[in-house]
A and B are shown apart, each in its own frame.
Chain A
Amino acid sequence: MNPQTISSVLALINAAFALGGEIVPIALKAYNAIKGESGMTDDQLIAAAETLNDADKQKLADLIASLS
């Protein structure tokens, strides 16, 4: 993992621990996902990115709709 990415993710984890609650598992999930990249094939990487992209599309659409 690139050092810059590590420090960015660690900053997120630090802030998460300071904030507590649900943010901590979010930060850890991000850390584990990035750490697991090296074991994935190219196809698996893209498939994972696509799946997450679709999920986030829905999550954001739902969030925006809930605020209307």
Chain B
Amino acid sequence: MKHLTKRSAIAVVISLSLFAASCSPSKIREARKAAHRIQVTIDASTDSLISLHNKHIVSDAKTRQLALGLQKANNANSVLIAHAKEATADTPATRQQLLTDVQGVIDAVRELKDAGILGIKSENGTLAFDAAINAMETSVQIIKGALQ
């Protein structure tokens, strides 16, 4: 009886360990980190755009175009944040949902890049905004890689 109890206990411990190993919380953490990182770069891009507009380096029309693009990226990241928050286990369904959300952010950032930085009158202003967009794109690609 003692042997059976000990064997059962060992079996339970092994089962629980295997179950824990199959749920890899690190992937979910990567998704949350990336959602945060994307948001930080959206924030930096927004503040940079406001500053460039205030300095009259970007016209009203161009500022509006870029602001709408950032708004789209912000909305897309809002969806990613919400799903990353809800995710509790690293399952194929969870990964697929997060990948779909990431694609939404990628599409928004791509539109922003295509809208271009032509019209930003200063080379340094162009560099600053371009660097912010590249940082955003990098963050998104990292999460895509982590989830695939």
Q: In the bound complex, do residue A18 and residue B78 qualify as a contact, i.e. CB atoms below 8 Å apart?
A: no
Known A-B contacts A9-B135, A26-B47; the reply to A2 vs B142 at CB < 8 A is yes
Chain A hits for B53, CB < 8 A: 63
Q: In the bound complex, do residue A59 and residue B46 qualify as a contact, i.e. CB atoms below 8 Å apart?
A: yes
Closest A residue to B129 by beta carbon equals A15
- Grouping DSSP codes into helix (H, G, I), strand (E, B) and loop, the A interface class, with mixed when no group exceeds half, is helix
Asked whether any CB of chain A lies closer than 8 Å to the CB of B71, the reply is: yes
Asked whether any CB of chain A lies closer than 8 Å to the CB of B94, the reply is: no
Q: Mark A12-51, 1 if CB is under 8 A from B, else 0.
A: 1011101101110011011001100100101001101110
- Grouping DSSP codes into helix (H, G, I), strand (E, B) and loop, the B interface class, with mixed when no group exceeds half, is helix
Tell me which of B7-15, B16-24, B31-39 binds A: B31-39
Q: Mark B19-58, 1 if CB is under 8 A from A, else 0.
A: 0000001001100110111011111101111111111000
Closest A residue to B55 by beta carbon equals A21
Using a CB–CB cutoff of 8 Å, the interface residues on chain B facing chain A are 25, 28-29, 32-33, 35-37, 39-44, 46-55, 60, 63-64, 67-68, 70-71, 74-75, 77-78, 81, 84-85, 122, 124-125, 127-128, 130-132, 134-135, 138-139, 141-142
Given contacts A49-B35, A53-B78, 19 further A-B contacts (CB under 8 A): A5-B139, A12-B44, A15-B128, A18-B124, A19-B127, A23-B52, A26-B44, A42-B28, A42-B32, A46-B32, A46-B35, A46-B36, A52-B40, A52-B42, A56-B74, A57-B75, A59-B50, A64-B68, A67-B63
Using a CB–CB cutoff of 8 Å, the interface residues on chain A facing chain B are 2, 4-5, 8-9, 11-12, 14-16, 18-19, 21-23, 26-27, 29-30, 33-34, 37, 40, 42, 45-46, 48-50, 52-53, 55-57, 59-61, 63-64, 67
